[in-house]
Structures are given as structure tokens and as C-alpha cells.
Amino acid sequence: MLNQTAIYALRAMKFLSQKGSEKPVLSSTIAAEMQIPHNFLSKILNRLTQAGLVLSTRGRGGGVVLSKPASDIFLHEVVNLFMKVDDFKLCLLGVNVCNGSCGLHLRWQIISEQFGKMMNETTVAQL
């Protein structure tokens, strides 16, 4: 359900949460450990930094760390930077105005609500 960029972002955030905030981690380390293409990861980390979810330090001893405890960062904060999670609330068949008449409506609604709940209630620390 998530696009590849969002998945990589969550992998990177998980890695940073496991490393703690005492010492910045090099992007090359994250890329190697989490199997993320380095150039792609650089763009992801840049966006996470712009959003204030990670802090970036340049130079010797530099790298990235989470900007706040992983238990305070929810999955929707990360994923929404890279895709529209609200699109999962739309009709599965792509109808602009869903009248609920298709056979999948109720089943999709349950899945959509559970997905939204998971994104809003799960933190990076729980990954």
C-alpha cells in the first residue's frame, strides 16, 4: 500500500530510532544497513530534515539524528511527506463521488479505516 519512497523513509527512521540521539549517523551507514540506494536516501533525508523530523549536522562527526523521541513521531508524519495517505479513503474504483453501491464499498471502508488508524496511532518506536 505504501510507495517505495515512504517505505525507505520508514526504514531510515526505524534505524535512527534504534541508534538513539547521542551520536549522529552517517547517511552512508543508513543506506548500507537498511539496503536503500544512497542517492535516493539523501533526498529522503533532506525532506525529513525540512519537515523537522530529523536533524542534520555537517562536517566531522556529522550525520543525522531524530529531532524528537521516536515515540513522539507517528507513521503518518513520515509517510505523508512522500505520498497522499488520504487517497486510501477514496473509492477503490476511483469514482469521484462514491455512493456506496459497489460490492466492495463496505469491505474497502473497513480496510481504509484500519489503515488510517494504524498510521495515526503507530509511532516510529513501535516499528
pLDDT digits over 54-101, tens only?
Answer: 999 998 888 999 999 999 999 999 999 999 887 777 787 777 777 888
Q: CATH no. for residue 52?
A: 1.10.10.10
The whole-number pLDDT of residue 84 equals 87
The 10 Å Cβ neighbour count of residue 57 is: 11
Strand pairing partners for 56?
Answer: 64
Please give the residue range of the domain that contains residue 18. Answer: 4-126
The whole-number pLDDT of residue 106 equals 86
The whole-number pLDDT of residue 20 equals 79
- Whole-prediction pTM: 0.89
The whole-number pLDDT of residue 12 equals 98
pLDDT digits over 1-47, tens only?
Answer: 899 999 999 999 999 999 877 789 999 999 999 999 999 999 999 99
Cell numbers at 88, concatenated: 486510501
H/E element, 64: strand 63-66
| Beta-strand relationship, 54-57 and 63-66 | antiparallel
The whole-number pLDDT of residue 54 equals 97
H/E element, 123: none
Cα separation of 23 and 102, whole Å? 53
Cα separation of 32 and 26, whole Å? 10
* CB contact at 8 A, 30 and 107: no
The whole-number pLDDT of residue 50 equals 98
In total, how many domains does the chain have? 1
